[in-house]
Structure 1
């Protein structure tokens, strides 16, 4: 590859940062490790800053290195977008990195991808299903589908829809431990929860027009709704899930809805989040438009 220019140097730096070693980056780029080392040294000398911390086994980024990595990814993406637009006369093309939660991605996003790819055959969808929040500004994804209230940020967002919630348990769990009849009965049960920070603690309920929350506890917390549904389905405990995530289990009888008389009918909106503005790549725009078209900002369940 041609590494004589700034863009070539950026490609080398990105490869080193992503691969975590000079030798792995060299293999990826068909260069020698010594050539990679010289290019990194050239960048650091020009910038007057150390970008990488190198040990015998690992390479990590300095603060300046993280800043340079974000900028390099953005610059190369902009160059690719301009060239694609000229080459294909504005036809969307290239790779888009999409992040979605495990459950929602599997149930609602994956079934749509075949139609999208048929409509835009020159766009490659790079889908990652994870319940971790990815850093879009840091270049970890182009689009993320996120549930709940959005934090203030320079990112753009378009609402896709919303979902309700339901408390569920497996019939065999209820046979062994009894069925809770009031929210307070949950104190005697194994309530499975999330381990990431929420705006408000506890499960919400409504009774006779009064809204309140209870801090329930259990033997397992996880960062994955898919994991909690699996545990509930196998009789480990009681979980509170997005209604879309358990609708098939409820229909089949694998799970039973609990305390519906106390359900506050709260709903979580979900959005497509991305870097907007006039330089937004066409491939990102058409994918967001496609999601809005398919979900229609309506309820999942």
Structure 2
């Protein structure tokens, strides 16, 4: 990598992170090296790229114009290098986040397949059912289920979360098995507190049903445990319950009225330069989701 290309990549990283220290951590370089490279670029261009204060930095008008051009230039460089080096192993770190149960049941196996092909790429996976901030948490991208809260982010739909309603045989033996969606009003329905629709369950083409219950949690694993313990009826992604359904610990409720599916998106921060290693992993996951019958969009 020549000096100018290296300085340009460092500048883009600082602009994305809005911080020299965060950029240094992302690049795994000393902060002094990052500052020196940006300073060298500014001297080369004869222009100040950042407004610096003791607490923050911001792009100058010249910096903003250069940033937009740098993104295009770096993308072109990566594409040109890829065209003549398709089999060259990539290196560096990719940071991503995904929901816990989806990561455990599907994504980690996909990442293992990827690292067998690209063993020099390090993966930093943050598993969380809460939507982490891609910029402040220094993440390259996220896999998210459901609605995308940040309208500024770049989102690509890569799959579908097929959901199912379940309960334990013991619960149904005690409380009875619902035969119609309206019967749920007489049952203890377990609530997933991170679901935007709250206590309204959308079941197939049936109008949303108001439900209530004595248990709520912000973790799908906690809902699964509660359902297995016989507390009530739960709704979540099929991948969460598939082993329990196969073993008989849980049974499907109202299979003729399945809960509405939810979209799965790959989300990236808007305007950020996408390194070749990040693009390679994102593309791998897109293909892997499309090949999984439980995840692919119909």
8 Å CA contact retained: 1:92, 1:122: yes
Q: Which residue of 2 aligns with 1:281?
A: 275
Cα distance 1:12–1:135, how it changes in 2: closer, same or farther (>3 A)? closer
After TM superposition, where is structure 1 displaced by more than 3 Å over at least 4 residues in a row?
A: 12-15, 46-49, 275-278
Query: Aligned to 2:190, what secondary structure does the other structure show?
Result: strand
The one-character-per-residue Cα deviations of 1:179-217 (angstroms, maximum 9, x if unpaired) are 2222222222221111125157511135xxx62111211
Listed as ranges, the gaps of 5+ residues in structure 2 are: 1-10, 31-50, 60-66
Q: Which residue of 1 aligns with 2:21?
A: 11
Say whether residues 1:196 and 2:203 are aligned partners. no
2:139, 2:23 → 1: CA distance? 18
Query: Aligned to 1:261, what secondary structure does the other structure show?
Result: coil
Normalising by the residue count of structure 1, what TM-score does the alignment of the two structures yield? 0.68
Cα distance 1:296–1:13, how it changes in 2: closer, same or farther (>3 A)? closer
8 Å CA contact retained: 1:134, 1:140: no
1:48, 1:169 → 2: CA distance? 57
The alpha carbon displacement at 1:282 in A equals: 0.9
1:252, 1:197 → 2: CA distance? 27
Q: Which residue of 2 aligns with 1:60?
A: none
The one-character-per-residue Cα deviations of 1:91-146 (angstroms, maximum 9, x if unpaired) are 53211111111110100101122221111112100011110101113344211111
1:279, 1:97 → 2: CA distance? 14
2:101 paired residue among 103, 123, 126: 103
Normalising by the residue count of structure 2, what TM-score does the alignment of the two structures yield? 0.68
1:229, 1:263 → 2: CA distance? 17
2:227, 2:139 → 1: CA distance? 31
8 Å CA contact retained: 2:199, 2:211: no
Cα distance 1:279–1:227, how it changes in 2: closer, same or farther (>3 A)? same
Listed as ranges, the gaps of 5+ residues in structure 1 are: 1-5, 16-28, 30-45, 52-63, 69-74
1:196, 1:131 → 2: CA distance? 8
1:115 paired residue among 113, 116, 125: 113
1:172 paired residue among 170, 181, 185: 170
RMSD: 3.7
1:224, 1:142 → 2: CA distance? 24
Cα distance 1:199–1:299, how it changes in 2: closer, same or farther (>3 A)? farther
Query: Aligned to 2:131, what secondary structure does the other structure show?
Result: coil
